[in-house]
Structure 1
Amino acid sequence: MRTSSSKKVKTFTPEELTNALLVLWEQVQESGFYPEAVVGIASGGTKCTSLLASKVDIKIYECVLRRPSTATKQKIPVTRFLRYVPYFITDILRVIEDRRLERSTNNGVKLAASDRSVLDTHCERIASDMRSQGMSRVLIVDDAVDSGHTLHAVKSRLAAAMGDGCEVRTAVVTTTRESCVERPDYSFFQRTLCRFPWSFDYRG
């Protein structure tokens, strides 16, 4: 589905998503960057790293930073029925939601102190474990980047925890906007709204 702003909605089966992640992984290595570990941002990113790890021998970590929009959607009872709605309807709903979120996140998102504390704890744990194994190159993976605030928070805090001499890069399945706070180094799609196998409206 194409919108007036030229965005489209792409539905991934697990097999299609795995193949897309393998292509993304090849892009990373073709750029000359060879990660020694990947960090998945919970929960979409960790699902992606799990699929990738089923095909690629790589150390994986999980980093938790809960998005406010995801937490809100999980509290709305109607979301449990979205998987029964035809895709042409949920495609329209996705476009509407994307436009609403784009307007609401223009001024940025501030992390609560508790969220910063959880994130810092995860990043310190990951950095400590990587250092103990002599690793210094890490790839952060997420399913989608919208405003880029989540990716920026994780990348900046993990880089700080890793210290000098480390290299932290980022990869996502889709970047939905032209302008974002943290643009990923690698992206399979641009300006595409993706429906993943774990999405509320995925019909399976």
Structure 2
Amino acid sequence: MKIKYLIKDDFDKACTSLAAIVAEKSKPDIVIGVRSGGGFVGRKMLENWPSSPPDYKEIEIKRELTKKKEKFKVSSILKKLPRFLTEILIKAEVHYLEVRNTKNTKRIIPDHFIGEFEDYFSGNSEIKALIVDDCIDTGNTLSVLKNFLIKLNPNVKVEIATITITHKNPIINADYTLYNRTICRFPWSMEIEQE
């Protein structure tokens, strides 16, 4: 598995490419960025949308492991390590998540998002929604969000766009992606120094 660094211009180019791929094949009514990474990707995609951009909303759903890494301030340690060692740890984490059954890890949509999305998706009109995230590993987060949208409106057509898919067999796949079996490091990744 390789690691690709999408920092600064490379990140902008990746988001522009993903927007062009989606816009060529689909015309979503709304784009939903999954915070935090998917929010960055979604906003950058809309900045570079090749035609009139769709509506845009963001939602936050964090996995348990991310909360643990934030609690133990893993980012401050990773920033001090040499890149080769950081890459070994990142690959080990992906392997660990693939081997460990993380597909049943609970994810909750916070209440303050539910009302906002109920207002937009209520009724039975057909809505085409594009969920955007930076990557798919287990696929659990995107599966939870897709099921949430379908529960709000059974007529919603949901598509998914991500920069990369890291795991071999996620429970949900992207309709649009740039990379497969590639770990991408983004400007917000824990080991990347912020300018």
Question: Which band: TM-score by shorter chain?
Answer: 0.7 to 0.9
> Alignment partner for residue 66 of structure 1, among 62, 66, 79?
62
The yes-or-no answer on 1:43 pairing with 2:36 is yes
Per the TM alignment, residue 195 of structure 1 is displaced from its structure 2 partner at its CA by: 0.8
The structure richer in helix per residue is 1
Q: How many residues align?
A: 190
Identify the residue that residue 19 of structure 2 maps to in structure 1. 25
The yes-or-no answer on 1:168 pairing with 2:155 is no
- Listed one character per residue, the Cα deviations across residues 96-148 of structure 1 (whole Å, up to 9, x for unaligned) are 11111111235x22426xx25x27x625522522569x771110000111111
Contact 2:132 2:160 in 1 (8 A): yes
Runs of 4+ in 1 over 6 A off after TM superposition: none
Per the TM alignment, residue 70 of structure 1 is displaced from its structure 2 partner at its CA by: 0.7
Contact 1:124 1:161 in 2 (8 A): no
Per the TM alignment, residue 26 of structure 1 is displaced from its structure 2 partner at its CA by: 1.6
Query: Residue 141 and residue 71 in structure 1: after superposition, are their counterparts in 2 closer, same or farther (change >3 A)?
Result: same
Contact 2:16 2:44 in 1 (8 A): no
Distance across 2 between alignment mates of 1:131 and 1:59 = 16
> Alignment partner for residue 81 of structure 1, among 45, 62, 77?
77
- Listed one character per residue, the Cα deviations across residues 7-48 of structure 1 (whole Å, up to 9, x for unaligned) are 1011111321121111112211222x1112110111111111
Distance across 2 between alignment mates of 1:48 and 1:97 = 22
Query: Residue 110 and residue 86 in structure 1: after superposition, are their counterparts in 2 closer, same or farther (change >3 A)?
Result: closer
Contact 2:64 2:105 in 1 (8 A): no
> Alignment partner for residue 2 of structure 2, among 1, 4, 8?
8
> Once structures 1 and 2 are overlaid, which stretch shifts more, 97-106 or 38-47?
97-106
Identity over aligned residues, as a percent?
27
* Structure 1 gap ranges (5+): 1-6
Instruction: Compute the TM-score of the two structures, normalised by the length of structure 2.
Output: 0.87
Query: Residue 203 and residue 87 in structure 1: after superposition, are their counterparts in 2 closer, same or farther (change >3 A)?
Result: farther
Letter aligned with residue 128 of structure 1: D
Query: Residue 167 and residue 200 in structure 1: after superposition, are their counterparts in 2 closer, same or farther (change >3 A)?
Result: same
Per the TM alignment, residue 78 of structure 1 is displaced from its structure 2 partner at its CA by: 3.9
Identify the residue that residue 184 of structure 1 maps to in structure 2. 174
Per the TM alignment, residue 88 of structure 1 is displaced from its structure 2 partner at its CA by: 1.6
Identify the residue that residue 140 of structure 2 maps to in structure 1. 149
Contact 2:94 2:167 in 1 (8 A): no
> Once structures 1 and 2 are overlaid, which stretch shifts more, 190-199 or 155-164?
155-164
Letter aligned with residue 3 of structure 2: V
Distance across 2 between alignment mates of 1:161 and 1:35 = 17
The yes-or-no answer on 1:140 pairing with 2:131 is yes
> Alignment partner for residue 195 of structure 1, among 168, 178, 185?
185
Q: Helix, strand or coil: the match of 2:43? A: helix
